[in-house]
Amino acid sequence: MPGWAAGRDQDAEPDQAHPEPSLAQSAQPTQSAEPGTSARSTTWTQPGTPAQPDAPASPPAEPRTGVAALSPRYQVGAALALAVVGVAACVHVLMVFLSLAPANTVTKQHGKLVEEWVYPEFEQNWKLFAPNPLQQNIAVQVRAEARTKDGELRSTGWIDLSAQDGAAIDGNLAPSHTQQNELRRAWDFFTATHSADNRPVGMRGSLSEQYLRRIVVMRLYRNDPPDKLGVIQRVQVRSSTTNVQPPKWSPERVPDQPVYRLLPWWTVTADEAAGGVR
């Protein structure tokens, strides 16, 4: 029946003209590329699916700091400076160790070099940690002969310089280094370089005498200026050593009378006599 077939074909034409979209045909490509690159990549998304956002850009590199921020030339200079400081620190520690260590082959051969490096600025004192700590109070006292404006030669009495330092330290929350150690270290320096009869021992004996004399002259002029005291001609120093008394519960008994060590009179040089030491 041709007529029926023709009508059927006409009814089917709309279905053929508008076919159902397939899964492969309905997918539409989207293109994305990484920032800073020319390459493109194609991804397929389903209809109605939102496109994936681009990947976030990587954060910028942090700026270099410290030595790393320097140019190579300055980095080499900084490395050399650190190396020099490190070597100097190691040498200093070694010298201080040799000065404190018992006598050995190195100190016997290079003892003078070690002393020149350590003394007097870096000298160490371990009396506090000794098996028998110092149990004495040592006071340094001085008297002087000065010529007044009238030409008269007058003598001062004994002046206790250690007591003056003690009074300045007492109640002071931040006493100075000179108040605590200058006079005491000068006396220790003298006794270490002199025999019991006050004769110099070694090459530093005369240096310790000059050091102690300049300190006591300076202290005398600090208390009384030259226009009041006069021009100092010579000075004499002595030490007063008193034993620290043991506690009441101890059976130990020690003398409580001071023991004096009297040094000879020292002539004051012209510069020191004119008050040139400050």
Q: Which two tokens stand for residue 18?
A: 């508008």
pLDDT at residue 19 greater than cutoff 90: no
Mean pLDDT confidence for 223-242 = 89
- Identify which has the larger pLDDT, 271 or 268: 268
pLDDT at residue 147 greater than cutoff 70: yes
CB 183 within 8 A of CB 161: yes
CA angle 65, 71, 73 (to 5 degrees): 135
CB 265 within 8 A of CB 178: no
The values of phi and psi at residue 9, to 5°, are -65, -35
Give the burial class of 235: count Cβ atoms within 10 A of its Cβ; 0-12 exposed, 13-18 middle, 19 or more buried: buried
- Identify which has the larger pLDDT, 144 or 42: 144
pLDDT at residue 215 greater than cutoff 80: yes
Full-model pTM: 0.54
Render pLDDT for 91-108 as a digit per residue (tens, 0 to 9). 999 988 888 887 778 888
| pLDDT band with cut points at 50, 70 and 90 for residue 245 | confident
Mean pLDDT confidence for 258-273 = 90
Amino acid 3: pLDDT: 46
pLDDT at residue 2 greater than cutoff 60: no
The mean pLDDT of the chain is 79
| pLDDT band with cut points at 50, 70 and 90 for residue 17 | very low
| pLDDT band with cut points at 50, 70 and 90 for residue 12 | very low
Amino acid 127: pLDDT: 62
- Identify which has the larger pLDDT, 8 or 143: 143
Amino acid 120: pLDDT: 72
pLDDT at residue 182 greater than cutoff 70: yes
Task: Give every CB contact of residue 184 below 8 A, 6+ residues apart in sequence.
Answer: 138, 140, 162, 165
From 141-145, 174-178, 213-217, the region with the lowest mean pLDDT: 174-178
- Identify which has the larger pLDDT, 126 or 95: 95
| Segment of 19-33, 67-81, 116-130 carrying the highest mean pLDDT | 67-81
260 in the Ramachandran plot: left (φ > 0), alpha (ψ -120 to 50) or beta? beta
Q: What percent of the chain has pLDDT over 70?
A: 74
| pLDDT band with cut points at 50, 70 and 90 for residue 144 | very high
